[in-house]
Amino acid sequence: MGITEIADGAAPSGPRASTAEKLIQLLELLAACAKGIGVREVSRDTGLDKSAVSRLLDQLAHLGVAQQDEMTGRYHAGPRLFALGATVHARDSLWQAAEPILLSLVNRFNETCYLAIREGDCVVFRDKVDSDHYVRYVIDAGERSPLHAGAGGRAVMAGMSREDCEHLVARLELTKLTANTITEAAELLRQVVEDRSRGYSVSMGERVPEGSAVAAPFHLPDGSCGGAIVYTCPAVRFDARRLPEVADAVVGAGRSLSSRLGFIT
Protein backbone atom coordinates (compact mmCIF):
# COMPACT_ATOMS: atom_id res chain seq x y z
CA MET A 1 0.00 0.00 0.00
CA GLY A 2 1.57 3.27 -1.08
CA ILE A 3 1.69 6.51 0.79
CA THR A 4 -0.03 8.29 -2.11
CA GLU A 5 -3.15 6.17 -1.63
CA ILE A 6 -3.34 6.90 2.08
CA ALA A 7 -2.73 10.60 1.57
CA ASP A 8 -5.55 10.99 -0.97
CA GLY A 9 -8.09 11.92 1.70
CA ALA A 10 -5.70 13.95 3.83
CA ALA A 11 -5.85 17.69 4.40
CA PRO A 12 -4.55 20.03 1.70
CA SER A 13 -0.78 20.19 1.47
CA GLY A 14 1.70 22.71 0.13
CA PRO A 15 3.06 26.01 1.39
CA ARG A 16 -0.33 27.22 2.63
CA ALA A 17 -0.99 24.15 4.75
CA SER A 18 -1.19 25.01 8.44
CA THR A 19 0.87 23.26 11.10
CA ALA A 20 -2.28 21.45 12.25
CA GLU A 21 -2.93 20.18 8.72
CA LYS A 22 0.64 18.95 8.41
CA LEU A 23 0.39 17.14 11.74
CA ILE A 24 -2.87 15.49 10.74
CA GLN A 25 -1.31 14.25 7.51
CA LEU A 26 1.67 12.77 9.36
CA LEU A 27 -0.52 11.16 12.03
CA GLU A 28 -2.73 9.56 9.35
CA LEU A 29 0.34 8.17 7.59
CA LEU A 30 1.88 6.88 10.83
CA ALA A 31 -1.38 5.17 11.73
CA ALA A 32 -1.97 3.63 8.31
CA CYS A 33 1.48 2.56 7.05
CA ALA A 34 2.59 -0.63 8.79
CA LYS A 35 6.03 -0.46 7.15
CA GLY A 36 6.64 3.03 8.42
CA ILE A 37 7.19 6.28 6.57
CA GLY A 38 10.33 8.01 5.33
CA VAL A 39 10.98 11.76 5.13
CA ARG A 40 11.67 11.82 1.39
CA GLU A 41 8.64 9.82 0.33
CA VAL A 42 6.31 11.78 2.62
CA SER A 43 7.67 15.02 1.18
CA ARG A 44 7.30 13.76 -2.39
CA ASP A 45 3.78 12.37 -2.00
CA THR A 46 2.27 15.14 0.14
CA GLY A 47 4.09 18.20 -1.19
CA LEU A 48 5.37 19.13 2.26
CA ASP A 49 8.91 20.48 2.52
CA LYS A 50 11.45 17.83 3.59
CA SER A 51 12.82 19.98 6.38
CA ALA A 52 9.30 20.55 7.75
CA VAL A 53 8.52 16.81 7.57
CA SER A 54 11.77 15.92 9.31
CA ARG A 55 11.25 18.51 12.04
CA LEU A 56 7.67 17.44 12.73
CA LEU A 57 8.53 13.75 12.80
CA ASP A 58 11.41 14.40 15.19
CA GLN A 59 9.05 16.33 17.47
CA LEU A 60 6.47 13.53 17.33
CA ALA A 61 9.19 11.00 18.16
CA HIS A 62 10.30 13.08 21.13
CA LEU A 63 6.71 13.03 22.40
CA GLY A 64 6.39 9.25 21.93
CA VAL A 65 3.77 9.63 19.20
CA ALA A 66 6.24 8.30 16.63
CA GLN A 67 9.36 6.20 16.90
CA GLN A 68 12.28 5.98 14.49
CA ASP A 69 13.86 2.71 13.38
CA GLU A 70 17.60 3.09 13.97
CA MET A 71 18.45 0.72 11.11
CA THR A 72 16.20 2.11 8.36
CA GLY A 73 15.54 5.63 9.59
CA ARG A 74 11.83 5.15 8.92
CA TYR A 75 9.23 6.38 11.38
CA HIS A 76 6.50 4.16 12.86
CA ALA A 77 3.54 4.78 15.15
CA GLY A 78 4.79 5.22 18.69
CA PRO A 79 3.33 3.97 21.99
CA ARG A 80 1.54 7.23 22.69
CA LEU A 81 -0.27 7.11 19.33
CA PHE A 82 -1.31 3.50 19.96
CA ALA A 83 -2.60 4.46 23.41
CA LEU A 84 -4.56 7.38 21.97
CA GLY A 85 -6.03 5.17 19.27
CA ALA A 86 -7.07 2.54 21.82
CA THR A 87 -8.75 5.17 23.99
CA VAL A 88 -10.74 6.61 21.09
CA HIS A 89 -11.63 3.14 19.81
CA ALA A 90 -13.02 2.13 23.21
CA ARG A 91 -15.42 5.09 23.05
CA ASP A 92 -16.44 4.53 19.44
CA SER A 93 -20.20 4.11 19.58
CA LEU A 94 -20.37 3.11 15.91
CA TRP A 95 -17.95 0.23 16.42
CA GLN A 96 -19.69 -0.78 19.65
CA ALA A 97 -22.91 -1.11 17.64
CA ALA A 98 -21.26 -2.83 14.66
CA GLU A 99 -18.90 -5.30 16.35
CA PRO A 100 -21.49 -7.86 17.56
CA ILE A 101 -23.18 -7.73 14.15
CA LEU A 102 -19.91 -8.45 12.34
CA LEU A 103 -19.05 -11.16 14.87
CA SER A 104 -22.34 -12.87 14.10
CA LEU A 105 -21.58 -12.84 10.36
CA VAL A 106 -18.06 -14.18 10.86
CA ASN A 107 -19.25 -16.90 13.24
CA ARG A 108 -21.80 -17.99 10.66
CA PHE A 109 -19.64 -17.95 7.50
CA ASN A 110 -16.04 -17.82 8.80
CA GLU A 111 -15.06 -15.07 6.38
CA THR A 112 -13.61 -11.68 7.29
CA CYS A 113 -16.17 -8.88 7.54
CA TYR A 114 -15.57 -5.12 7.61
CA LEU A 115 -17.26 -1.98 8.80
CA ALA A 116 -16.76 0.54 5.97
CA ILE A 117 -17.76 4.19 6.29
CA ARG A 118 -18.22 6.89 3.71
CA GLU A 119 -15.81 9.81 3.83
CA GLY A 120 -16.48 12.20 0.97
CA ASP A 121 -15.98 10.38 -2.33
CA CYS A 122 -14.24 7.43 -0.69
CA VAL A 123 -15.13 4.48 1.47
CA VAL A 124 -12.84 3.85 4.44
CA PHE A 125 -12.45 0.37 5.93
CA ARG A 126 -12.69 1.38 9.57
CA ASP A 127 -12.61 -1.92 11.43
CA LYS A 128 -13.06 -5.67 10.96
CA VAL A 129 -13.59 -9.10 12.46
CA ASP A 130 -11.24 -11.70 10.96
CA SER A 131 -11.98 -15.25 9.88
CA ASP A 132 -9.67 -18.00 11.10
CA HIS A 133 -8.66 -19.06 7.58
CA TYR A 134 -4.92 -18.93 6.92
CA VAL A 135 -5.62 -17.36 3.51
CA ARG A 136 -8.05 -14.45 3.69
CA TYR A 137 -8.87 -11.15 2.04
CA VAL A 138 -6.91 -8.52 4.00
CA ILE A 139 -7.65 -4.80 3.99
CA ASP A 140 -5.70 -2.60 6.38
CA ALA A 141 -7.75 -0.59 8.87
CA GLY A 142 -8.02 2.97 7.62
CA GLU A 143 -7.51 2.03 3.97
CA ARG A 144 -9.41 4.22 1.54
CA SER A 145 -11.06 3.09 -1.66
CA PRO A 146 -12.91 5.08 -4.33
CA LEU A 147 -16.65 4.58 -4.18
CA HIS A 148 -16.92 3.21 -7.72
CA ALA A 149 -14.53 0.29 -7.16
CA GLY A 150 -15.83 -2.74 -5.28
CA ALA A 151 -18.90 -3.84 -3.39
CA GLY A 152 -18.38 -1.65 -0.33
CA GLY A 153 -18.32 1.63 -2.22
CA ARG A 154 -21.08 0.63 -4.58
CA ALA A 155 -23.28 -0.39 -1.62
CA VAL A 156 -22.82 3.12 -0.25
CA MET A 157 -23.95 4.59 -3.58
CA ALA A 158 -26.94 2.24 -3.60
CA GLY A 159 -27.82 3.51 -0.11
CA MET A 160 -27.96 7.09 -1.38
CA SER A 161 -30.90 8.66 -3.17
CA ARG A 162 -30.90 8.26 -6.95
CA GLU A 163 -30.40 12.00 -7.45
CA ASP A 164 -27.49 12.25 -5.01
CA CYS A 165 -25.87 9.19 -6.58
CA GLU A 166 -26.13 10.63 -10.09
CA HIS A 167 -24.52 13.89 -8.95
CA LEU A 168 -21.77 11.90 -7.25
CA VAL A 169 -20.98 9.78 -10.29
CA ALA A 170 -20.88 12.88 -12.49
CA ARG A 171 -17.94 14.24 -10.51
CA LEU A 172 -16.09 10.99 -9.78
CA GLU A 173 -12.91 10.07 -11.60
CA LEU A 174 -13.63 6.45 -12.47
CA THR A 175 -10.08 5.16 -12.18
CA LYS A 176 -9.38 1.59 -13.30
CA LEU A 177 -7.92 -0.37 -10.35
CA THR A 178 -8.20 -3.84 -11.89
CA ALA A 179 -9.34 -5.37 -15.16
CA ASN A 180 -12.84 -5.71 -13.64
CA THR A 181 -13.26 -2.16 -12.30
CA ILE A 182 -16.32 -0.40 -13.72
CA THR A 183 -15.08 2.78 -15.42
CA GLU A 184 -18.10 3.79 -17.53
CA ALA A 185 -20.53 6.13 -15.75
CA ALA A 186 -23.62 4.70 -17.45
CA GLU A 187 -22.68 1.13 -16.55
CA LEU A 188 -21.87 2.14 -12.97
CA LEU A 189 -25.27 3.81 -12.56
CA ARG A 190 -27.01 0.80 -14.09
CA GLN A 191 -25.24 -1.48 -11.63
CA VAL A 192 -26.10 0.78 -8.68
CA VAL A 193 -29.79 0.73 -9.67
CA GLU A 194 -29.66 -3.07 -9.72
CA ASP A 195 -27.88 -3.15 -6.36
CA ARG A 196 -30.43 -0.78 -4.85
CA SER A 197 -33.34 -2.92 -6.03
CA ARG A 198 -31.96 -6.12 -4.49
CA GLY A 199 -30.43 -4.49 -1.41
CA TYR A 200 -26.81 -5.53 -1.80
CA SER A 201 -23.72 -5.27 -4.03
CA VAL A 202 -21.38 -8.00 -5.25
CA SER A 203 -17.82 -7.50 -6.47
CA MET A 204 -15.51 -10.00 -8.13
CA GLY A 205 -12.02 -8.57 -8.46
CA GLU A 206 -13.22 -4.99 -9.04
CA ARG A 207 -11.01 -3.41 -6.38
CA VAL A 208 -8.40 -6.07 -5.70
CA PRO A 209 -7.55 -8.92 -8.10
CA GLU A 210 -8.60 -12.33 -6.80
CA GLY A 211 -10.82 -10.75 -4.14
CA SER A 212 -14.59 -10.97 -3.80
CA ALA A 213 -17.08 -9.15 -1.62
CA VAL A 214 -20.75 -8.78 -0.79
CA ALA A 215 -21.88 -5.54 0.86
CA ALA A 216 -25.02 -3.80 2.06
CA PRO A 217 -25.49 -0.20 3.22
CA PHE A 218 -26.36 1.05 6.68
CA HIS A 219 -28.07 4.34 7.47
CA LEU A 220 -27.66 7.01 10.12
CA PRO A 221 -30.57 8.46 12.13
CA ASP A 222 -31.00 11.31 9.64
CA GLY A 223 -31.51 8.80 6.82
CA SER A 224 -28.18 9.40 5.12
CA CYS A 225 -26.04 6.41 4.16
CA GLY A 226 -23.22 6.12 6.68
CA GLY A 227 -21.35 3.26 5.04
CA ALA A 228 -21.61 -0.48 4.47
CA ILE A 229 -21.21 -3.89 6.02
CA VAL A 230 -18.76 -5.78 3.80
CA TYR A 231 -18.31 -9.57 3.65
CA THR A 232 -15.05 -10.56 1.93
CA CYS A 233 -13.26 -13.71 0.84
CA PRO A 234 -10.65 -14.78 -1.70
CA ALA A 235 -12.24 -15.41 -5.11
CA VAL A 236 -11.10 -19.05 -5.03
CA ARG A 237 -13.29 -19.61 -1.95
CA PHE A 238 -16.34 -17.72 -3.20
CA ASP A 239 -19.25 -20.14 -3.61
CA ALA A 240 -21.90 -18.69 -5.91
CA ARG A 241 -24.39 -21.27 -4.65
CA ARG A 242 -24.29 -19.64 -1.22
CA LEU A 243 -24.65 -16.07 -2.52
CA PRO A 244 -28.38 -15.80 -1.69
CA GLU A 245 -27.71 -16.94 1.88
CA VAL A 246 -24.69 -14.66 2.33
CA ALA A 247 -26.45 -11.68 0.73
CA ASP A 248 -29.52 -12.13 2.94
CA ALA A 249 -27.32 -12.18 6.05
CA VAL A 250 -25.31 -9.11 4.97
CA VAL A 251 -28.48 -7.15 4.15
CA GLY A 252 -29.85 -8.12 7.57
CA ALA A 253 -26.60 -6.97 9.19
CA GLY A 254 -26.88 -3.58 7.50
CA ARG A 255 -30.47 -3.20 8.66
CA SER A 256 -29.58 -4.26 12.21
CA LEU A 257 -26.77 -1.70 12.40
CA SER A 258 -29.08 1.01 11.03
CA SER A 259 -31.64 0.16 13.70
CA ARG A 260 -29.06 0.19 16.50
CA LEU A 261 -27.87 3.60 15.34
CA GLY A 262 -31.43 4.95 15.52
CA PHE A 263 -32.51 4.89 11.89
CA ILE A 264 -36.25 4.33 11.53
CA THR A 265 -37.59 3.13 8.18
149-177 pLDDT tens trace: 999 999 999 999 999 999 999 998 999 99
Most confident of 11-15, 82-86, 145-149: 145-149
Sorted by where each starts, the structural domains of the chain and their CATH numbers stand as 3-86 (1.10.10.10), 92-261 (3.30.450.40)
Predicted local distance difference test score (pLDDT) of residue 28: 83
Predicted local distance difference test score (pLDDT) of residue 237: 92
For residues 182 and 22, which has the higher predicted lDDT (pLDDT)? 182
Average pLDDT over residues 106-123: 94
State the pLDDT confidence band at 15, using cuts at 50, 70 and 90. very low
State the pLDDT confidence band at 3, using cuts at 50, 70 and 90. very low
Least confident stretch, 37-51, 146-160, 223-237: 37-51
Least confident stretch, 14-28, 151-165, 177-191, 209-223: 14-28
pLDDT value at 135 more than 60: yes
- pLDDT tens digits along 78-95: 998 888 877 776 666 888
3-state secondary structure the chain: CCHHHHHCCCCCCCCCCCHHHHHHHHHHHHHHCCCCECHHHHHHHHCCCHHHHHHHHHHHHHCCCEEECCCCCCEEECHHHHHHHHHHHHCCHHHHHHHHHHHHHHHHHCCCEEEEEEECCEEEEEEEECCCCCCCCCCCCCCEEECCCCHHHHHHHHCCCHHHHHHHHHHCCCCCCCCCCCCCHHHHHHHHHHHHHHCCEEEECCCCCCEEEEEEEEECCCCCEEEEEEEEEEHHHCCHHHHHHHHHHHHHHHHHHHHHHCCCC
What percent of the chain shows pLDDT beyond 90?
Answer: 57
Predicted local distance difference test score (pLDDT) of residue 264: 79
pLDDT value at 12 more than 70: no
Predicted local distance difference test score (pLDDT) of residue 17: 56
Least confident stretch, 14-18, 92-96, 201-205: 14-18
Average pLDDT over residues 224-228: 95
